[in-house]
Amino acid sequence: MADHHSERQSAIDAHGIIGDMRSAALVNDKGSVDFFCWPEFDSPSIFCSLLDTPEAGIFQLSPDLPDARREQIYLPDTNVLQTRWLSDHAVVEVTDLLPIGDNEDDLPLLMRRVRVVSGTATLRMRCAVRHDYARAATTAQMDGDDVVFTAADQPSMRLNSDHPLTLDGAAATAEFTLEQGQSAAFLLGAVDDPRFQEGAAQLCIERTLKFWRDWIGQSNYRGRWREMVNRSALALKLLTSRKHGAILAAATFGLPETAGGERNWDYRYTWIRDASFTVYAFMRLGFVTEANAYMKWLRGRVSDCNGSPMKLNILYAVDGRQELPETELTHFAGHGGAKPVRIGNQAYEQVQLDIFGELMDAVYLVNKYGDAISHEGWQHAVEVVDQVCETWQQKDVGIWEMRGEQHHFLHSRLMCWVALDRAIRLASKRSLPAPFARWDETRQAIYADIWKNFWNEERGHFVQYMGGTALDGSMLLMPLVRFVSAKDPRWLATLEAIEKTLVRDGMVYRYRNDDAQIDGLAGTEGAFAACSFWYVECLARAGQVEKAHLEFEQLLRYANPLGLYAEEFDSHARHLGNTPQALSHLALISAASFLDRKLSGEKSSWQP
């Protein structure tokens, strides 16, 4: 039933993403939905052939045009995806979306519409829902003209179409021919979804297109990379929970950071660090509502129902759950054979001192450009900063969640300084009560500690952790968070050392520690997309604007054809890791904003 391509897994960068801010699906350039968790971002998958074979669940819809050129585009200024086939015989397009309605509690509905633009084509459809990460035995049965998929202890799903459906074991299938101008629609959702009624599909599409266009129309970015910046903003919005305000690190789990390797994590959660950086990107573009919604979600994490403080974790589920135990899906072969495939993320147990800095930076920015901080919010902020005063000298696992030894990491110290700096600035500007003397004393102590203990005189650059000699891509944040001048001689020496050690054709590696001592895992990983964009911004801030411009243009070519980025690049600049990655896209937005102003000779009114 499937064409000869579809049995093989698609490359990570051969995918577009669609979503409704409750869940998201990946659609490859062959017309197959090969990743979809339902009904929530972090629910068990119903389609997961991206990490196994079609037996793990797939929704194929494609024409019988083996020699066609395939391409994917988004309908302009939206997250509605179109996959196109162009051949001598026909031009066919499949439009995919998760409709956005008035009610944030609507369960996600996958809508697929195929249309023959010219010529005549035979279409084949195969929908094989596999509940609970393909661990539950799913059955398919006819219900009138529809097919219903059921499994024990799992929500039933209905497939509806305006073309006849047949059963092939536990899958729904269809084969039909369409002529120029003809179309067919398929809807997959909750068994009793009211949108299955006749005529609802077109209305859903129109409303969804309007939603995305109205939203991106609020962006204040008018620079030369508007298309890429808007695509990044739309990707970030897709990773934002409409109901809770939380922001995901990425839409997927288990995609490898090393081909065939063991670095396969679950990123369908909210990291305080990544989400706080995302707030920064949203605010740069004028999206204040998203920033305010995230801060509201965050307030629920730092206080329990009695209003008393609680420990701040480094990551949470979108709904605020704190415990996310790791499980290995041993029945999955993995993407490209990369095992184990993990769900859950044990990093929730780790200590990462840097998150307080990212958190307070977000609090400071939202207070400046969004809603002013409440009395209760400030009380929690004071408790967070007081905690930094107590813990900043401790060892931790660092920004990259090393699973080896703990160290005194430079980035953790840097962000502890940021936490104090932003708190002092905020309290001063708003005339808020604060223990200024103690905070300032601690801020100065951290500043002195970094210059004394993380500068290696012999090497002539800053180092990754106290007592070490290695470099680290997170150092690129030092001038970006205003700790050091972008033109300070010691910083420029460090930037030069990073270029020699960590940069390969504009792609920046997080670290080069080949021994397992530092991160506790075998093998190496790809270059990190976010670090690569931070590098561009560092060059621009250092006055190397032409070099920054060239490096940025190169990085833009490493996006997939839809303008999306995963977490990392391999040596051929192919994508590695979970996708699309929020950190990659927010770093692109920041670099594009600053570099555009530099090239235009403008001064910014936007100051973090």
pLDDT of residue 300: 86
Q: 230 and 186 in one domain?
A: no
Domain count, the chain: 2
pLDDT of residue 305: 46
Q: What is the pLDDT of residues 492-545, one digit of tens each?
A: 999 999 999 999 989 999 988 654 445 556 667 799 999 999 999 999 999 999
pLDDT of residue 326: 96
For 163, the token pair is: 């073309």
CA angle at 179 for the pair 174 and 183, rounded to the nearest 5° = 60
The b/e string for 45-82 (b: 16+ C-beta within 10 A; e otherwise) is bbbbbbbbebebbbbbbbbbbeebebebebbebbbbbb
Q: Is residue 294 part of a domain?
A: yes
Q: 318 and 278 in one domain?
A: yes
Q: Is residue 2 part of a domain?
A: no
Q: Is residue 376 part of a domain?
A: yes
What DSSP line would sit under 47-78, residue for residue?
E-GGGS-GGG-EEEEEES-TT-EEEEEEPTTS
Q: What is the pLDDT of residues 318-373, one digit of tens each?
A: 999 999 999 999 999 999 999 999 999 998 888 889 999 999 999 999 999 889 99
pLDDT of residue 522: 61
Q: 59 and 31 in one domain?
A: yes
Q: 251 and 138 in one domain?
A: no
Q: 487 and 446 in one domain?
A: yes
What CA–CA distance (Å, rounded) separates 337 from 385? 45
Q: 295 and 205 in one domain?
A: no
Q: Is residue 348 part of a domain?
A: yes
What CA–CA distance (Å, rounded) separates 70 from 400? 37
Range of the domain at 120: 15-215
Q: Is residue 34 part of a domain?
A: yes
Given 215, 246, 270, the domain boundary residue is 215
Q: Any idea what the CATH number is for the domain that residue 461 is in? A: 1.50.10.10
Q: 464 and 343 in one domain?
A: yes
Q: What is the pLDDT of residues 109-160, one digit of tens each?
A: 999 999 999 999 999 999 999 999 999 999 999 999 999 999 999 999 999 9
Q: Is residue 6 part of a domain?
A: no
Given 215, 231, 249, the domain boundary residue is 215
Q: 472 and 337 in one domain?
A: yes
Q: 167 and 75 in one domain?
A: yes
Least Cα distance to 308 among 383, 367, 373 occurs for 383
Q: Is residue 120 part of a domain?
A: yes
Give the total residue count for the chain.
Answer: 608
What residue spans of 217-354 are helical by DSSP H? 226-238, 272-284, 288-302
- Contact by Cβ (8 Å): 282, 360: no
Q: Is residue 608 part of a domain?
A: no
pLDDT of residue 103: 85
- Contact by Cβ (8 Å): 203, 268: no
Q: Which residues of the chain have pLDDT under 70?
A: 1-7, 303-310, 403, 513-523, 602-608
